[in-house]
């Protein structure tokens, strides 16, 4: 398996620009998810009021989803077809990654809807707003959990393939 030949610990020192770019894009997704998680923690610890949570989460979630959508389109329509040609033996793994993208679309929509409901609930009393905040936090957490798993799985498949291609 290519991952054994190119273990994760060796990636940073490899010097591949393609790999560095890919990992940097993924690092930004992880960073945005960590920020959303931080807002959720701040809300739970009462360092953020429900209204503040709705305000600070909006641009973070919106930016994350826009960038994620663009990244997935580049992968689905450019990189993955190239990888399928280069390494037909990885077809099943790429099928899984494409399926992840469609699952992530559903989780992204759920998080976006939960945030919209949170903003609407701000005018409907404390209990309603608190319930909507909890539902948003749950939806964002589910989205980011799946993003994290997907990024790891994708890197394990794609990065060794890129390194192998550069080595030949
Ligand atoms: Fe992906
Ligand atoms: Fe990706």
Tens-digit pLDDT profile for residues 132-157: 999 999 999 999 999 999 999 999 99
Cβ-contact 153, 3 below 8 angstroms: no
State which residues form the domain around 35.
17-39+47-167
Query: To the nearest whole number, what is the mean pLDDT of the chain?
Result: 95
pLDDT value, residue 167: 74
For residue 6, being part of any structural domain is answered with no
φ, ψ for residue 48 (rounded to 5)? -125, 135
pLDDT value, residue 43: 98
Which ligand has the shortest distance to the CA of 104? 1
Q: Does residue 5 or residue 13 have the better pLDDT? A: 5
Q: 123: domain CATH number?
A: 1.20.120
- Ligand 2 centre to CA of 151 (Å) is 6
Long-range contacts of 92-98 (CB under 8 A, 24+ apart): 93/157, 94/157, 96/153, 97/150, 97/153, 97/154, 97/157
pLDDT tens, 31-46? 999 999 999 999 999 9
For residue 2, being part of any structural domain is answered with no
- Ligand 2 centre to CA of 107 (Å) is 16
Which ligand has the shortest distance to the CA of 98? 1
Domain count for the chain? 1
């Amino acid at each position: 398996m290519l991952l054994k030949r190119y273990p994760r610990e060796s990636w940073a020192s490899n010097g591949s620009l393609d790999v560095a770019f890919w990992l940097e894009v993924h690092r930004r997704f992880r960073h945005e998810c960590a920020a959303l998680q931080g807002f959720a923690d701040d809300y739970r610890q009462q360092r953020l009021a429900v209204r503040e949570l709705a305000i600070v989460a909006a641009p973070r979630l919106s930016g994350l989803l826009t960038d994620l959508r663009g990244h997935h389109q580049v992968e689905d329509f450019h990189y993955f077809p190239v990888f399928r040609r280069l390494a037909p033996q990885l077809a099943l793994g790429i099928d899984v990654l494409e399926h992840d993208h469609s699952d992530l679309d559903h989780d992204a929509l759920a998080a976006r809807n939960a945030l919209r409901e949170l903003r609407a609930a701000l005018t409907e009393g404390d209990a309603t707003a608190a319930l909507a905040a909890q539902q948003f936090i749950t939806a964002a957490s589910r989205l980011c959990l799946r993003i994290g798993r997907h990024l790891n799985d994708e890197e394990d498949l794609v990065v060794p393939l890129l390194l192998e291609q550069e080595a030949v």
